[in-house]
Amino acid sequence: MRLTGHGNRRVEFTDGRIEERPIPTDIHQSVLLFLHALFHVWLRPRGVVVMVSRMRMRLREGKFGEPDILLLRDRSDPRRQNRYWQSADLVVEVAGPNDPDRDMVEKRADCAEAGIAEYRIVNPRDAVAGVDGSRLGFLRPALC
């Protein structure tokens, strides 16, 4: 935690290894900021808290990630911690051009292992959004 909390490099911590992540592209950041604004404006009045990347989330003991978007349905949820979140109700990843399988396969598996209720992948290259899970029904009307 201490090493990943300082500096300007994007890194993730897994079982004692630090993995450097690529710098996001303009398209990636544009999609990410659009989605964050959409979630923030529509869901914040309902007590939902939405954070954007560089906020860490503990996936399991010894593994931390920095999802593009994290969401908790209740802003007073005890999983919401100052240095990192213990979990989330929804994680959204904007697939990067360098390694889309990491978002489509590896991170999906990480979130499933962590018990994340819903995981969404937005792939700007194909202009599609993939959805896993349906337990957060309040999101669907908000996104229509």
| 17 part of a folded domain | no
| 6 part of a folded domain | no
Residue that wins the pLDDT comparison between 11 and 136: 11
Distance CA 123, CA 125 (A): 5
| 13 part of a folded domain | no
**Nearest Cα to Cα of residue 1 among 88, 86, 83:** 83
Residue 14: pLDDT over 70: no
| 2 part of a folded domain | no
Q: Are 88 and 73 in contact (CB under 8 A)?
A: no
| 12 part of a folded domain | no
Residue that wins the pLDDT comparison between 75 and 139: 75
Q: Are 79 and 90 in contact (CB under 8 A)?
A: no
| 132 part of a folded domain | yes
pTM of the shown model: 0.75
Domain count, the chain: 1
- Phi/psi at 52 (5° precision): -110, 165
Domain hosting residue 79, numbered range: 24-143
The CATH number assigned to the domain holding 124 equals: 3.90.1570.10
